[in-house]
Amino acid sequence: MIELGIPAAYAVLLWWFTTGVILFLDGLPRTTFRWSMAAATAVLPGAVYVLRTSAAEAGVSGAYSAFSCAIVVWGWLEMSFLMGFITGPRKQPCTERCRGWRHFLHATQVIAYNEIATLIGAAGIVSATWNRPNPVALWTFLVLWSMRLSAKLNLYLGVPNSGEKFLPAHLLYLKGFFGKRPMNFLFPLSVSGATVVLVLLAQSYRAANDTFHSAGYALAGSLLALGLLEHWFMVLPLPSEKLWNWALRSGRGAGGVAAQTRPNSA
């Protein structure tokens, strides 16, 4: 049980804390964004270096290093989008009469550059881990990318809870691309597919005969379970923002969404 509990707890805490830090920094005045992004960019080469070297380490420490560095790379990409540095060519919502494929094209234009950057990041991690004994960084990145892409598509097609409270003021135009429906056709497919993969990871964890693979499967599986939880937050009446209440406070006094949507916020 300890063999599963430690990597699961590590994945949850790292996911929760890094998400909170990004939300906190994104809620600060925009004049601070260049400094936050510069600090993240300064850390990035070190993370890439450790990611590359850990690809040759088929041990428990290598699994944790690869997982952590993949999270850092992913965090840099998320910050670059949320702070408006790498988004897309379109930075305004559609008109109310924009529908169909034209509306989908506009939604794609909003995120295009960041998706290209993510693709480049994925290619870099594939190159760093190809034919190496430690693929945990690649597993981690693919879990994050697939679940984020699924979440974006579900938000576009429509869900009850779009997570608008997490949007900073400078990205409010994204609300124009969030659908509002009790359910969409993709959501059951998304959670079913992710659940199947999670079961396969659990089976691989149980069948693993060394601590490295046990740790790797547990870390990737825990992250996938968190992605599933985030999907369920989109359809269940749960106040997911309370998980990062401490981080969202930075935007409540700066005109962010948290300030606009909470009637009694300070």
Q: Which residues of 150-177 are buried (b: 16+ CB within 10 A; e: fewer)?
A: bbbebbbbbbebbbbbbbbbbbeebebb
Span 52-70, mean pLDDT?
Answer: 97
Span 245-254, mean pLDDT?
Answer: 74
Give the model's pLDDT for residue 252.
53
CA distance 148 to 189: 15
DSSP 70: H
CA distance 215 to 10: 11
| Stretch among 70-84, 196-210, 230-244 having the lowest mean pLDDT | 230-244
Phi-psi region of 11 (alpha: psi -120 to 50; beta: other; left: phi over 0): alpha
Question: In whole angstroms, how far apart are CA 106 and each of 90, 111, 202?
Answer: 7, 9, 39
Question: For the segment 161-198, what is each residue's pLDDT rounded down to a tens digit?
Answer: 998 888 888 999 999 999 999 999 999 999 999 999 99
Give the model's pLDDT for residue 223.
97
- Angle between the 186-207 and 136-157 helix axes, to the nearest 10 degrees? 160
Query: Across all residues in the chain, what is the average pLDDT?
Result: 91
Per DSSP, the chain holds a count of helices (H) and strands (E) of 9, 0
Distance of CA 216 to the CA centre of its chain: 19
Give the model's pLDDT for residue 165.
82
Give the model's pLDDT for residue 2.
62
| Confidence category of residue 257, pLDDT binned at 50, 70, 90 | very low
Residue 251, pLDDT > 90, answer no
Residue-range domain boundaries for the chain: 2-261
Q: What is the DSSP string of 130-198?
A: TT-S--HHHHHHHHHHHHHHHHHHHHHH--S---GGG--GGGGGGGGG----S--SHHHHHHHHHHHHH
For the entire predicted model, the pTM comes to: 0.92
Please name the residues in contact with 5: beta carbons below 8 A apart, sequence gap of 6 or more.
none
Span 193-215, mean pLDDT?
Answer: 95
